Amino acid sequence: MIRDLAVRAADGSAVPLSTYDGRVLLIVNTASKCGFTPQYEGLEALHRRYADRGLSVFAFPCNQFGAQEPGDAAEIASFCRLSYDVSFPVFAKIDVNGADADPLFEALKTAAPGVLGSKGIKWNFTKFLVTRDDTVTRYAPTTKPEDLSADIEAALG
C-alpha cells in the first residue's frame, strides 16, 4: 500500500506516508523550468481550497525530463515559494523512472498505469490522486490542476 512507504523530505529526513492516514493525497512530479511549471499555481489553489477537508498536495521535483529541474533542494524551495507562493510540501528531488526510481513512484505507476498500460511516466507534472483507501488515479501532465476538482470532491466525500 502507498501509505506503507516513506519518502524523503527536502532536508533528507524520512517522512512516513502513514502520517497522512485519513487524507486524500495529490502527488505530482514537478520541475521548475518546464512548460507546465505554472501548474504550481493551480496545485497551490487546490491545496488552499481543500486542505482543511483532508487533501494533502505533495510535489516531488524530478530532473529526468529535459533536465528541467537542475537546482538543489534550497533552490527548488525558494523558487516554489517566491514564484508561486507554494505552501504544500516540496520533497527531495527524485527519479520517477528507471533503476533509481523512488519506491513511491514505482507503487503509483503499478497501481495506475498510463495509456495502454504503460508504466513509465512520460513527463513532468504527471499527477496521482490517492484516495483514503489507497485507490490511485493517474492524470496526464496536460491535465490542469483545476480539472481535478470534481475527483477531489468525490474522494473527500
Mean of the per-residue pLDDT values of the chain:
95
Catalytic site includes residue 80? no
In angstroms, the CA 103 to CA 4 distance is 11
Asked if residue 64 belongs to a domain, the reply is: yes
Q: What is the pLDDT of residue 43?
A: 98
Q: Does residue 155 lie in a domain region?
A: no
Q: How confident is the model at residue 114 (pLDDT cuts 50, 70, 90)?
A: confident
pLDDT above 90 covers a percentage of the chain that reads 90
pLDDT band per the 50, 70, 90 thresholds, residue 120:
very high
Identify whether 133 is part of a domain.
Answer: yes
pLDDT at position 57 over 90: yes
pLDDT, residue 63, reads 96
Residue 17 has pLDDT above 90, yes or no: yes
Specify the CATH number for the domain of residue 45.
Answer: 3.40.30.10
**Has residue 153 been placed in a domain?**
no
Q: Encode pLDDT of 33-45 as tens digits.
A: 999 999 999 999 9
Q: What is the pLDDT of residue 149?
A: 97
108, three cell numbers: 503509483
Domain count, the chain: 1
Calculate mean pLDDT across residues 58-76.
Answer: 94
Instruction: Please report the pLDDT score of residue 143 as a whole number.
Output: 97
Buried b (16+ CB within 10 A) or exposed e, 52-86: eebbbbbbbbbbbbeebbebebeebbebbeeebeb
C-alpha cell at 117: 498500460
Is residue 28 assigned to a domain? yes
Q: Is 22 a domain residue?
A: yes
Q: Which domain holds residue 39?
A: 2-146
* Average pLDDT of the segment spanning 71-92: 93
Could you tell me if residue 116 is inside a domain?
yes
Which residue out of 7, 24, 25, 34 is catalytically annotated?
34
Whether 25 maps to a domain, the answer reads yes
Residue 115 is predicted with a pLDDT of: 80
